[in-house]
Amino acid sequence: SAVISQKPSRDICQRGTSLTIQCQVDSQVTMMFWYRQQPGQSLTLIATANQGSEATYESGFVIDKFPISRPNLTFSTLTVSNMSPEDSSIYLCSVRDLGAELFFGEGSRLTVL
């Protein structure tokens, strides 16, 4: 399975600021996804990161709030913009390898004060 590295692993941010989370994979992968896991909750798909084009967002998530980049087949970023305490969550990068299974990174734990 692919090795997925996320940075930062955790951060504490002030309301109104923005934070960019990086996801690096050790091999080329077909698809990359960003999920959100609110405290004690399940995982919700934010968007599919498309290489070289705009991300595909799920209902309830918009590009202005969660801009995503994917410049190549091994790297993606998720920015959480104009943060509020409701954005405090774990943000997870997920990738699909050639075997079709989905794998997750360790997550980035964000606390907004």
State the residues that interact with other proteins by CB under 8 A: 1, 4, 30-31, 33, 41-45, 48, 58, 92, 96, 100-107
- Whichever of 12 and 82 has its CB closer to other proteins, that residue is 12
- Whichever of 18 and 56 has its CB closer to other proteins, that residue is 56
- Whichever of 17 and 27 has its CB closer to other proteins, that residue is 27
The 3-class SS string of 29-98 reads CCEEEEEEECCCCCEEEEEEECCCCCCEECCCCCCCCCCEEEEECCEEEEEECCCCHHHCEEEEEEEECC
